[in-house]
Amino acid sequence: MKKALMKGNEALAEAAIQAGCKFYAGYPITPQNEIPEYMSRRLPPRGGIFIQAESEVAAINMVFGASACGARAMTSSSSPGISLKQEGISFLAGAELPAVIVNMQRGGPGLGNISASQADYFQAVKGGGHGDYRQFVLAPFNLQEMWDLTMLAFDKADEYRNPVMILGDSILGQMMEPFIPSPYVKQALPEKTWALTGCAGRQPNVVKSLFVGEGELEKRNYVLQDKYRRMKAKDVRFETQDVEDSELIVVSFGIAARIATEAVSMLRNIGKKVGHFRPITLFPFPEKQIHDLAERGAKFIVVELNAGQMVEDVRLAVNGRSEVLFYGRPGGSVITPEELYDRLKDEC
């Protein structure tokens, strides 16, 4: 298949349309503006709806309404805007509605800056809004994955009736590189019998997240927790590089993994026993795989573009079986492969 050359944000938007996204609502914020711009041009001619919402809050609630009617729906934003959407994401999770939410992260806290950052890891994988819920979180690290994982995101959202977040960053959204735009293959998914479409020929459907009856909410929560367990059992995704004989394993995701894998290759070239582990699903997290590597005695160093967030999940997975170090830079500062090479060469 012929390769395509596109900007990350545009590749993501095109993949969403090809995966059957029929509704997009968003609000301008850098560095993800190419997504709403692309959607505004390309979605309506292909039978979808584009709305520039009056706020991030309105955008996620428009997605809530469209999804409740059974449509594949998406919104996108960047860190401060994603904070505003958290109430809506909690309602999506509580009402068990599918939706795809894209966060092209920028530096924070506050207005921060527009450089690449991974400082929203906690917010993405721990819930983010109120209540006991999780999003399914996918972390692409190149444009091939921006394309492939976007298509996967819509399937997983429908399969689990749960919000799915694509956690990218400023660099992934803005960079161009070639990738293979594989066509979307329709998956066998259950019919949306719960959708609000008008009650002709059936009993009325109610989509809600309020459960005030005795024990009702606890029961609902166990339904959600069971769903998260199923995600952990069958949908953990990750990629490894040279971990088999490694004494030191670098763990990183997204754009940090682009930097880290290069540093690891440089170290391998001078004979160091170092490898790389890259979680692709940040929730469900590859805890068992990391634990198994720790049991073998490998030492870990977690590399992130933040002050240390995923490192906590790696420590939980390792559970004291080996050492877990951290190297990162917060505030939108980007690590170079050489800088990381210097940090790692004496650890192995």
Q: Which residues bind other proteins (CB under 8 A)?
A: 22-23, 25, 49, 51, 53-55, 57-59, 61-71, 73, 87-88, 91, 95, 196-201, 204-210
Q: What DSSP state is assigned to residue 43?
A: T
Nearer to other proteins, 110 or 201 (CB): 201
Name the helix (H) or strand (E) containing 234: helix 216-234
Alpha carbons 274 and 299: distance in angstroms, whole number: 10
Q: Which two tokens stand for residue 50?
A: 């584009």
Find residue 6's DSSP bridge partners: 177
Backbone torsions φ then ψ of 9, nearest 5 degrees? -60, -35
Nearer to other proteins, 50 or 238 (CB): 50
Residues with Cβ within 8 Å of 310's Cβ and at least 6 positions away in sequence, in order, are 118, 121, 251, 252, 253, 279, 282, 302, 304
Angle (CA) 183 253 17, round 5°:
25
Nearest approach in angstroms of CB 129 to other proteins is 10
Nearer to other proteins, 164 or 280 (CB): 164
Nearer to other proteins, 83 or 209 (CB): 209
Nearest approach in angstroms of CB 55 to other proteins is 6
Nearest approach in angstroms of CB 111 to other proteins is 20
For tokens 């040279």, the residue is: 242
Nearer to other proteins, 199 or 223 (CB): 199
Contact of 183 with 163, CB cutoff 8 Å: no
Nearest approach in angstroms of CB 56 to other proteins is 11
Name the helix (H) or strand (E) containing 287: helix 287-295
Nearer to other proteins, 95 or 171 (CB): 95
Residues with Cβ within 8 Å of 62's Cβ and at least 6 positions away in sequence, in order, are 23, 25, 51, 53, 75
Nearer to other proteins, 25 or 318 (CB): 25
Nearest approach in angstroms of CB 195 to other proteins is 9
Nearest approach in angstroms of CB 90 to other proteins is 9
Q: Which among 103, 116, 86 has a CA at the least distance from the CA of 330?
A: 116
- What does each C-alpha distance from 85 to 16, 30, 129, 150 come to in angstroms? 20, 16, 8, 19
Nearest approach in angstroms of CB 126 to other proteins is 21
Q: Which two tokens stand for residue 17?
A: 């349309």
Nearest approach in angstroms of CB 94 to other proteins is 10
Nearer to other proteins, 44 or 109 (CB): 44
Q: Which among 109, 240, 104 has a CA at the least distance from the CA of 175?
A: 104
